[in-house]
Amino acid sequence: GAGVSQSPSNKVTEKGKDVELRCDPISGHTALYWYRQSLGQGLEFLIYFQGNSAPDKSGLPSDRFSAERTGGSVSTLTIQRTQQEDSAVYLCASSLGGGRQPQHFGDGTRLSIL
C-alpha cells in the first residue's frame, strides 16, 4: 500500500488478556517506530527497529511489552496481561532510516482495557 497500515483500528479487551497490534510499514522503509499516545498527551517513544540491527527497546514501559519485526517489514507489538493504564492509542511510523528522515505514521490502534 501507499502508507503505513495498522490493525486493528480499535481493540477492546478485558484486563489481564494479551493483545497483539500489527504495523505494516511503507515498502522500502528500513526504520520502524512504535509510540503510545495517551489521552491529551504527546507521543511516548516505545521501540525502534532499524534494518537488521538490534532494536532500541529503551522506551518500553515494562516487561509486559514486547515487539518484533519479521523479515525487516511487518512489526507486531504485544502487550501481555493488560492493565487499565495500557489504554491508549498505539501509533506506528516508518522512515527511510535514522533520525534525519521524515516519519510517516499510520492511523493507530485505539486500545481500551476494561
Partner 1 sequence: KQEVTQIPAALSVPEGENLVLNCSFTDSAIYNLQWFRQDPGKGLTSLLLIQSSQREQTSGRLNASLDKSSGRSTLYIAASQPGDSATYLCAVGHFNKFYFGSGTKLNVKP
Residues that bind partner 1 (CB under 8 A): 4, 6, 31, 33, 35, 40-43, 45, 48, 50, 56, 91, 93, 98-100, 102-108, 110
Considering the complex, what minimum distance in angstroms separates the CB of residue 65 from partner 1? Answer: 17
Considering the complex, what minimum distance in angstroms separates the CB of residue 81 from partner 1? Answer: 27
User: Which of 80, 112 has the CB closer to partner 1?
Assistant: 112
31 contact partners, CB below 8 Å, separation of at least 6: 48, 49, 50, 51, 94, 95, 96, 97, 98, 101
Considering the complex, what minimum distance in angstroms separates the CB of residue 109 from partner 1? Answer: 10
- Of 51, 57, 38, 54, the C-alpha closest to 95 is 51
95 close to 103: Cβ distance less than 8 angstroms: yes
42 contact partners, CB below 8 Å, separation of at least 6: none
User: CA 47 → CA 66, 82, 94, distances in Å?
Assistant: 9, 18, 12
User: Which of 82, 109 has the CB closer to partner 1?
Assistant: 109
User: Which of 11, 108 has the CB closer to partner 1?
Assistant: 108
User: Which of 12, 16 has the CB closer to partner 1?
Assistant: 12
Considering the complex, what minimum distance in angstroms separates the CB of residue 46 from partner 1? Answer: 11
